[in-house]
Structure 1
Amino acid sequence: MRLVIAKCTVDYAGRLAAHLPSAVRLVIVKADGSVSIHADDRAYKPLNWMSPPCSLKEADGVWTVTNKAGEKLIITLEDVHHDSSHELGVDPGLIKDGVEAHLQELLADRMEVLGPGWQLIRREYPTPIGPVDILCRDSDGSTVAVEIKRRGEIDGVEQLTRYLELLNRDPLLAPVKGVFAAQEIKPQARVLATDRGIGCVVLDYDGLRGIDDDKLKLF
């Protein structure tokens, strides 16, 4: 990862045009080729960015980042305060908390609550970008990837979407459907999941543990 703090201007040339006037900003270049520009606010959200795959060319203080569609992000460095590179290595990925891990275990043991005839293929099914919580088959024999969260938000839907894109490249599994399961699913996450053809499941933790009647709801 390369971190550059510099006074700069930023211009985006693509389907739309955007301009950031001169100011001190943080520019991050990641190993995957992505480039993002950040201010000292907005939490994690960048002011502008270019997603991989893309190329970066540096010439006379001007960075030109070009993606496969030909769109360009042009960063003009006026005064560089800091420029360093760091090798972070392979990230192990997000480790689920105890409740999420237990939800996964309980659901894997009780696939029938998703529907009659549902069968487990494997928990923690490996992919190049991390393990899918549960891979299973529904009553029609279709492959289904299930992502489990304690609190279902947009990030979880995006994560499941990336898994589905990879899994559907495997002719032995495709077509693969998705189910987003959580104790609570935020309205925005439900809208995004529905738009992408992903089913949403509200999990009753106590019900899965046998403390109460099953209240798992599939929408």
Structure 2
Amino acid sequence: MRLVIAKCSVDYTGRLSAHLPLATRLLMLKSDGSLLIHSDGGSYKPLNWMSPPCTIRTEEPSAEETEAGVQELWRVAHSKTGDQLVVSIYHIEHDSSHNLGVDPGLQKMGAESHLQELMAEQIEMLGAGHTLVRREYMTAIGPVDILARDADGGAVAVEIKRRGEIDGVEQLTRYLELMNRDPGLRPVQGVFAAQEIKPQARTLAEDRGIRCVILDYDEMRGLDDGGSRLF
């Protein structure tokens, strides 16, 4: 990756036109050919960019551009669309290249599979006397995440999401409808468990007699003692 801090102006032409007036910015040139232009603000979002496949060519400025103070031009052209990004460099304050190596990619913590595994190991989170029957209990339309039994032996179907929304409640409702046709299971209670449950989803779940449970991923992993918090 090449990092350049330069006083520059930027012009984009193609499906739309855009102009960035003269200012000091960070220019990021990545090994995949992309160019991103950042200001000192705006979080992660660049002011403008060109995604691969594209080519970058350095050009000499015209006499008129040189007289205006331009030292060099970067012309970035997209190989498929023909869109162009022209960076007029007036002054370079920093220019460095870095080999970052191969990135292993983002590893999401608290994925639904992790939450399901932890809840299966800590099934008592559902209440005293609950026991695990199995994970991924298959129905005619797909597997419900966990099938358990409560202290009285009643069947409990648990659907787990990272973020609980209405679609998840509808999914669990369909599972419950099928499972309650099985005389060996019915009546089946429903539990909708997630790290966060949207108010509309909670309202729908409670209206259908489905219990909602909030999951604390760190606490389930033993990294956070919820009982010792002040708030």
Provide TM-score, normalisation by structure 1: 0.53
The residue that corresponds to 2:129 in the other structure is 117
- In the superposition, relative to structure 1, how do residues 149 and 187 fare at CA in structure 2: closer, same or farther (>3 Å)? same
> Does the residue aligned with 2:183 lie in a helix, a strand or coil?
coil
- In the superposition, relative to structure 1, how do residues 169 and 214 fare at CA in structure 2: closer, same or farther (>3 Å)? farther
Match of 1:128 among 137, 140, 151: 140
- Percentage of pairs with the same residue: 74
Shift of 1:114: 1.5
Match of 1:199 among 186, 207, 211: 211
> Does the residue aligned with 1:124 lie in a helix, a strand or coil?
strand
Tell me the amino acid that sits aligned with residue 210 of structure 2: I
State the aligned residue count.
Answer: 120
Which consecutive unaligned segments of at least 5 residues does structure 2 have? 1-108
Instruction: Measure, in 2, the Cα distance between the counterparts of 1:113 and 1:208.
Output: 10
State yes or no: 1:164 paired with 2:176: yes
Instruction: Measure, in 2, the Cα distance between the counterparts of 1:176 and 1:118.
Output: 14
Q: Deviations over 1:181-219 (max 9, x none)?
A: 00000000000000000000000000000101257xxxx
Instruction: Measure, in 1, the Cα distance between the counterparts of 2:161 and 2:226.
Output: 18
The residue that corresponds to 2:225 in the other structure is 213
Superposed CA RMSD in Å reads 1.7
8 Å Cα contact 1:150/1:183 also seen in 2? yes
Instruction: Measure, in 1, the Cα distance between the counterparts of 2:212 and 2:110.
Output: 21
Provide TM-score, normalisation by structure 2: 0.50
The residue that corresponds to 1:140 in the other structure is 152
Q: Deviations over 1:44-85 (max 9, x none)?
A: xxxxxxxxxxxxxxxxxxxxxxxxxxxxxxxxxxxxxxxxxx
State yes or no: 1:103 paired with 2:115: yes
Instruction: Measure, in 2, the Cα distance between the counterparts of 1:110 and 1:124.
Output: 16
Shift of 1:151: 0.1
Q: What pairs with 1:18-57 in structure 2 (closer than 5 Å)?
A: none
The residue that corresponds to 1:3 in the other structure is none
Moved more, 172-181 or 134-143: 134-143
Tell me the amino acid that sits aligned with residue 122 of structure 1: R
Shift of 1:140: 1.9
Shift of 1:120: 0.3
8 Å Cα contact 1:208/1:214 also seen in 2? no
Q: Which runs of 4+ in 1 moved over 2 A?
A: none
8 Å Cα contact 2:157/2:191 also seen in 1? yes
Moved more, 109-118 or 188-197: 109-118
Instruction: Measure, in 2, the Cα distance between the counterparts of 1:214 and 1:131.
Output: 31
State yes or no: 1:178 paired with 2:190: yes
Tell me the amino acid that sits aligned with residue 203 of structure 1: L
Instruction: Measure, in 2, the Cα distance between the counterparts of 1:213 and 1:169.
Output: 41
Tell me the amino acid that sits aligned with residue 108 of structure 1: A
Shift of 1:174: 0.4
Q: Deviations over 1:123-142 (max 9, x none)?
A: 00001100000000111211
